[in-house]
A and B are shown apart, each in its own frame.
Chain A
Amino acid sequence: MHEAWLYDGASAVRHRVTLEAAGPALGIRGAPDPELCLGRDELVHVESRADAELYGRRSVPGWRLGVPRPVPDEIAALLPARQVYGRWIDRIGLGKALAAGAVASAAILFLGHKAPALLAPLVPYSWEQSFGDALVGDLGGKFCAGTGGQAALDAMVAKLTPDPARYKVRVVNVPIVNAVALPGGNIVIFRELLAEADGPDEVAGVLGHEIAHIDNRDVTRAMIREYGFGLLLASVGGTTGGNVDMLASASYSREAESKADEDSIAALRRANVSPRPTAGFFARLARHEKGLDGWDGALGYVSSHPLSEGRRRRFEESAEAGRVYAPSLTEEQWAALADICHNDSNR
């Protein structure tokens, strides 16, 4: 016999009851049911109060049995176990749960860090292409189509890579100094980069760098890292959730940038184009960045590809003394490319 109290869940009246063992079940005597037998499965531990344990009944909301402490052993044996931290954690114990949680979250953080590099090669190229086309399509009427300009650009791509059909390189009429690699082999050069460049070889160095980003799947990797897989999938589904701005702001890791420079230098060497002009281009951009006011906003290249003395020197030092380099474009081709946005008949 153990004194307890009971609410029946229908009214607020508190009933005095006594508890006793009735075989494998808990016997409850008193109002409102004169005799009630409940198995342990029908009861649920609700909470521990300062002076009592509180139990509920699965089938009746608001039904509450308050059992004052100390609870005699023969009664306690008929009651369900206490809930403290939540079902899963109570089952394995707090210490183990903390340890398991620490291991699992460390693993998740580690995988989250590694996931982009691991997953990028698994993304089908056709998804990337449809996403990239959607992004480039967004830029719509801003493509420059001056006479001979695109042909010159395509000629430059053909020099830098054995598989030029993989890439779609366009110039857009947006006044910033930048070039970005987009998914699906798309490369977008912004108008002001051509204006800043002193010759075709400077553009070739930058282009080689962006081509390397595409070959190394850095674009996909950055997308996975910054926006998650879901966004990519949603975009494939037809809604262009993403856009060029977000990708332009997605930064690559230092290793990816370094590898892209290395590949660009190799491509220039294969094409017999001097890397020195690219080094000079970087040096000029860096001076602009430090010196002139009002340039910061326009220098997208500097913010998305941080310039360092090391980067410039690497291009500089890759030049082979005594080697006779050929320009990447003829005078006429370069003139057409540099003017691709000015004599544009579409404008």
Chain B
Amino acid sequence: MNDMSGGPALDECPADSSFRFTGSWREFLPIALTNFALTVVTLGFYRFWAKARERRYLWSRTHFIDDAFEWTGTGKEMFLGFLIVAAVLMPVILFVNFGFQAMVLRGQAALAGAILLTLYVGFFYLYHVAKFRALRYRLSRTWWHGIRGGSDAPGWDYGWKGLWKSAAGWAVFGFLVPWSMTQLWNDRWNRMSFGGHPFKADAHENGLMRRWLLLYLVPVLSLVILSMALAAVAVSLGTDLEDGTVESSAIIVSVVVGSFTVYGLVLLFGLSFYTLFFRQVAAATSVGGLSFVFTARTRDWLKLVLGNIGLVIATLGVGLLFLSYRNWAFVVRHMEASGVVDLDLLTQSTARAPTDAEGLADAFDFGAV
């Protein structure tokens, strides 16, 4: 343990040692099992507290330079966030499930359609607001050396940016999606800070287009090839088909195998796109003189995903409890930072600590980054 009472600047850290994950699955197992048991006997109520406990462990086993992170979020605030969101979303869900059908039956299809469209647009707006707020919440509950992060922005304007940039990204056959993704990454992170230091992000879509087009073309090309192959098989078997069912089951088998192949390819090319995306956005993000590198390659991601699937299957589902642990450890292990942290200059954040937790993000079911 270095003595830093004099407050000297840390030496420049070697890039591969700034982030370390020191957890072990043996330590995590009792947490996962008791969380699971308590969640079951409380009919799911405990899951907010379970999440807080899990994060407290993962953060505390994540070292940056000379000390671990600390998670201070509580189950209570996440539960309250959930209640608020449930109150907001419940009328929407009721309308979509019951009101819409009732209005159509009564011949008010146009009005019902208009309301539904408005609700959908509102839903996507809230989705983006939630994404912003989830990140803000996580930073505000993440402490290091007694200093936390956060943001003063409420995220309402980010919601509009998210809405129109995503729409623009998908508008021309989705060709501009890499642009909208990197833009929104910048829009989010440029409003965040840690201590007194603002984050700076200037990610660019350059270099992402090739992999995006590959991902984009895989299902289309596969479908064309698959249907051509099927047509050929059907023609050659055409006469036999009328006699028995053996050949038609062969066709079903080849369709199934073909579909799995397409799914596999989409997964592979999707991972390869996201690999590059995360490498680029991480490299384009900095805070207080620190810059980041995310080192995971496509094969690392593939190992993670296949490992997760294998673990869940091999343990008959028990492995599900470990996925958050594995994913977190993966991110930390592939994260590197370089630069200088001047501890004297890293002072407490003045950003408002939000109280509304991640309820909204939780309702839409996604992570912060």
> Which residues of A come within 8 Å of B, CB atoms?
5, 7-16, 30-31, 46-50, 54, 61-64, 85-86, 89, 94, 97-98, 101-102, 104-105, 108-109, 138-140, 174, 231, 241-246
Contact = CB atoms under 8 A, between A and B. Distances in A.
Given A5-B1, A89-B38, A11 B106 contact: no
Given A13-B5, A85-B34, A62 B146 contact: yes
Contacts of B144: 12
Contact of B145 (A7, A86, A104, A231): A7
A49 B60 contact: yes
A308 to B, nearest CB: 28
Nearest to A139: B106
Contacts of A30: 5
A243 B102 contact: yes
Interface in B46-76: 46, 49, 53, 56, 60-61, 66-68, 70, 72, 75
A98 B148 contact: no
B41 interface: yes
Contacts of B3: 16
B114 interface: no
B11 interface: no
B49 A63 contact: no
Nearest to A99: B41
B4 A14 contact: yes
A242 B97 CA distance: 11
Contacts of B68: 49
29 contacts: A7-B145, A10-B347, A11-B346, A13-B5, A13-B343, A14-B5, A14-B67, A31-B5, A47-B56, A50-B22, A61-B148, A61-B348, A62-B148, A62-B348, A64-B143, A85-B34, A85-B38, A86-B46, A86-B49, A97-B38, A98-B38, A108-B43, A109-B43, A140-B106, A231-B94, A243-B98, A243-B102, A245-B98, A245-B101
B147 interface: yes
B195 interface: yes
Interface in B236-267: none
B147 A138 contact: no
B347 A102 contact: no
Nearest to B148: A62
A105 B105 contact: no
B42 interface: yes
Contacts of A48: 60
A28 to B, nearest CB: 14
B99 interface: yes
Given A62-B143, A105-B42, 6 more contacts: A10-B348, A14-B67, A64-B143, A231-B94, A241-B94, A243-B98
A139 B27 CA distance: 62
B146 A50 contact: no
A222 to B, nearest CB: 14
Contacts of A139: 106
Given A85-B53, A101-B38, A12 B145 contact: yes
Of B53, B75, B102, most buried by chain A (CB within 10 Å of CB) is: B102
